């Protein structure tokens, strides 16, 4: 069975010269992982292969 929710790496920047990268199925899910940070969307990169689940992860640079 094919997963209908593709997984993306979402990249955001903040006004404090920080870049945040998270993995989620939607931009809303990605933003919910960073609730206390004001973010500007920077990039969406598809990373999921057909049969693998989307696992959430987060990193800040």
Q: What is the pLDDT of residues 5-14, one digit of tens each?
A: 678 999 999 9
Rounded to whole angstroms, the Cα distance separating 34 from 17 reads 15
Give residue for tokens 């993995």.
23
Asked, for residue 56, whether it belongs to a domain, the answer is: yes
Taking residues 7-31, report their average pLDDT. 92
Residue 15 has a pLDDT of 86
**Has residue 1 been placed in a domain?**
no
Q: What pLDDT score was predicted for residue 29?
A: 94
Query: How many structural domains is the chain composed of?
Result: 1
Contacts of 15-18 with CB under 8 Å at 24 or more apart are: 18/60, 18/61
Host domain of residue 42: 8-60
Domain assignment present for residue 2? The answer is no
Report d(CA 23, CA 11) in Å as an integer.
9
Residue with tokens 């990373």: 47
Tens-digit pLDDT profile for residues 41-61: 999 999 866 666 666 666 655
Q: Is 3 within a domain?
A: no
Q: What is the pLDDT of residue 1?
A: 42
Q: Confirm if 20 and 60 have CB atoms less than 8 A apart.
A: yes
Q: Which pTM value belongs to this model? A: 0.71
């Amino acid at each position: 069975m094919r997963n209908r929710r593709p997984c993306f790496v979402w990249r955001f920047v903040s006004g404090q010269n920080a870049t945040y990268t998270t993995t989620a199925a939607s931009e809303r899910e990605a933003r919910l992982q960073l609730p206390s940070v004001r973010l500007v969307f920077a990039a969406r990169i598809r990373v999921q292969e057909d049969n693998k689940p989307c696992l959430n992860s987060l990193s800040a640079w």
